[in-house]
């Protein structure tokens, strides 16, 4: 244990005797904080929170998961397909959720969601598109 304590002391002495300002050393250990993932960042995003809540309170999750193919395509796949398109895609996809339909991902039908407002459907699409891989 003693040796461990002495090491920093010696290093300090070495540097202070050097006379010059040679302190351009790499950052101290423990200052490496740039490793947060993007999904953690999303949890603070109001668009993400609102859409997630809506998706959870409708029947979407019986057919969709974020990363799994169920009856419907995964939200990640949907986001990767449409996420780079212009904003008009939001209205288009919201309309598709309300009307239901098939033919884009396969023969399976998405049930219509006639009771859904366009506004809520768009909020869900915005949430889904946030899941796009960077
Ligand atoms: C009965 C199962 C089912 C339910 C419930 C369901 N979906 Fe789907 N969804 C599908 C299927 C199947 C497709 C693929 C349709 C196709 O190939 O055109 C799809 C496609 C989509 C797409 C992409 C549409 C396209 O044209 O590419 C979005 C966005 C979507 N669903 C969102 C939702 C949301 C939001 C909800 C909840 C309100 C929901 N879905 C509920 C089965 C479902």
Write out the chain's pLDDT in tens, 134 residues: 555 555 555 544 445 554 455 555 555 554 444 444 455 689 999 999 999 999 999 999 999 999 999 999 999 999 999 999 999 999 999 999 999 999 999 999 999 999 999 999 999 999 999 999 97
Query: Which CA distances in Å does 2 have to 13, 29, 40, 77?
Result: 17, 21, 42, 57
Mutate to test the pocket of ligand 1, among 56, 71, 95, 97 (most ligand atoms within 8 A of CB): 97
Atom of ligand 1 nearest to the CA of 111: 1
Length of the chain equals 134
37 Cα: distance to centroid of ligand 1 (angstroms): 27
97 Cα: distance to centroid of ligand 1 (angstroms): 6
Say which residues have a Cβ less than 8 Å from residue 55's Cβ, sequence separation at least 6: 61, 64, 124, 127, 128
pLDDT score of 23:
52
Q: Tokens 């999303």 correspond to what residue?
A: 42
Tokens of 74: 């995964």
The rounded distance, in Å, linking the Cα atoms of 54 and 69 is 20
CB of residue 113 inside a 6 A radius of ligand 1: yes
The rounded distance, in Å, linking the Cα atoms of 101 and 91 is 15
The rounded distance, in Å, linking the Cα atoms of 46 and 90 is 17
Q: What are φ and ψ of residue 88, in 5° steps?
A: -65, -20
Q: Look at ligand 1, atom 5, and give the residue with the nearest C-alpha.
A: 60
The rounded distance, in Å, linking the Cα atoms of 30 and 65 is 36
125 Cα: distance to centroid of ligand 1 (angstroms): 10
pLDDT score of 49:
97
Q: Tokens 């040679």 correspond to what residue?
A: 22
């Amino acid at each position: 244990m003693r040796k461990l304590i002495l090491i920093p002391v010696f290093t300090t002495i070495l540097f202070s005797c050097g006379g010059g300002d040679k302190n351009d050393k790499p950052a101290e250990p423990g200052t490496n904080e740039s490793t947060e993932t993007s999904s953690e960042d999303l949890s603070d995003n109001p668009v993400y929170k609102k859409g997630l809540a809506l998706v959870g309170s409708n029947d979407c999750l019986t057919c969709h998961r974020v990363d799994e193919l169920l009856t419907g395509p995964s939200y990640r796949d949907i986001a990767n397909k449409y996420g780079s398109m212009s904003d008009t895609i939001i209205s288009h996809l919201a309309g598709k959720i309300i009307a239901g339909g098939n033919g884009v991902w396969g023969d399976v039908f998405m049930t219509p969601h006639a009771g859904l407002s366009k506004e809520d459907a768009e909020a869900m699409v915005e949430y889904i598109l946030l899941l796009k891989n960077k």
